[in-house]
Structure 1
Amino acid sequence: MESVDGRVILFIIVGGVLFLLGRRVQLMAMMWQSWKDAVKAVPARRKVAFGSVRHVLKLALVAALVLWAVVHVGRFM
């Protein structure tokens, strides 16, 4: 009888180990997919970031022109 009990315990242990291994593989696959999606999103985010920088530079140029105009209008009046 003991050999049968030992086999049952062994099957339970092997089943638990296979379950945990499967969960690890599933987690690894999900992380790999997330990493691939993040790498694909980099060019789009870079484009948006450079667009924002250009917009800020344009606003700074307009602000500088307005400041220059205010300073020079004060001199002429």
Structure 2
Amino acid sequence: MSDPWDEEFAPSTAALNTLRWAQGMGAETLGEAYDMLEQLELSNDVPEVLGHDDTVEGVREELEFGIEAAGPDTLLTTLL
């Protein structure tokens, strides 16, 4: 397994906030957090999690890259 903090995968603040939100909702891995993005998008939590400058689509792209770089089974506790 590659290092989740590979220099290519450095989660932004919005992505880290999203991972924390997903962890609080029960996700344990990066793949599970990615799967919860639709739930985030439909929730009222978007402004609290992402602020006003970031988008769910931007975080989705970032997490897709993270899944490619670190793998979907990477534990969120490793990334946070």
Q: Same fold (TM over 0.5)?
A: no
Higher helix share: 1
TM-score (norm 2): 0.21
Larger Rg over CA atoms: 1
TM-score (norm 1): 0.22
Q: Which has the higher contact order (CA 8 A, sep 6+)?
A: 2
